[in-house]
Amino acid sequence: MPELPEVEITCRGISQILPCEITKIIVRESQLRWRVPKELSLLPITKIISIQRRAKYILIHTASGTLIIHLGMSGRLNIVDKYTAVKKHDHIDFILNNHKILRYTDSRRFGSVHWVKQNPLDHPLLIDLGPEPLTEEFNANYLMNALQNKKQAIKLAIMNQNIVVGVGNIYANEALFSAKINPLRPAHSLTPMECKLLVKEIKKTLYHAIEAGGTTLKDFLSPEGNFGYFALKLLVYGRENEPCVVCKNLLTSCKLGQRATVFCKHCQQ
Partner DNA sequence: AAAGACACCTGTCCGC
Partner DNA sequence: TGCGGACAGGTGTCTT
Interaction between residue 120 and DNA (CB under 7 A): no
Q: Report cis status (omega within 30 of 0) of the bond before 19.
A: yes
CA distance 122 to 118: 8
From residue 156, give the alpha-carbon distance in Å to each of 11, 107, 131, 168, 186.
26, 26, 16, 9, 10
Q: Under rule CB under 7 A, which residues in 1-60 are in contact with DNA?
A: 1-3, 6, 31, 33, 55-56
Under DSSP, the state recorded for 48 is E
Residue 20 CA to its chain's centroid (Å): 25
Residues 123-182 interacting with DNA (rule: CB under 7 A): 125, 149-153, 156, 159, 161, 168-170
- With the C-alpha atoms ordered 238, 258, 54, 34, is the resulting torsion angle positive or negative? positive
Q: Which residues contact 16 (CB under 8 A, 6 or more apart)?
A: 79, 223, 224
103 catalytically annotated: no
Which residue of 118, 135, 241, 258 would you call a contact of DNA, by CB under 7 A? 258
Q: Which of 47, 100, 203, 259 is catalytic?
A: 259
* Residue 183 among the catalytic residues: no
- 259 annotated active-site: yes
Return d(Cα 238, Cα 234) in angstroms, integer. 8
Instruction: Provide the minimum distance between the beta carbon of 56 and DNA in the complex, in angstroms, as a whole number.
Output: 4
Residue 6 among the catalytic residues: no
One-letter identity of residue 117:
K
* Residues 18, 51: Cα–Cα separation, whole Å: 9
CB of 73 to DNA, least distance (A): 5
Residue placing its CB nearer to DNA in the complex, 21 or 240: 240
Considering the rule CB under 7 A, would residue 89 count as an interface residue with DNA? Answer: yes
Of 46, 62, 107, 139, which one interacts with DNA (CB under 7 A)?
107
Least distance between DNA and beta carbon 47 (Å): 28
Site for DNA, rule CB under 7 A: 1-3, 6, 31, 33, 55-56, 70, 72-74, 88-89, 107-110, 125, 149-153, 156, 159, 161, 168-170, 214-220, 228, 237, 257-260
Q: Known catalytic residues? A: 2-3, 56, 259
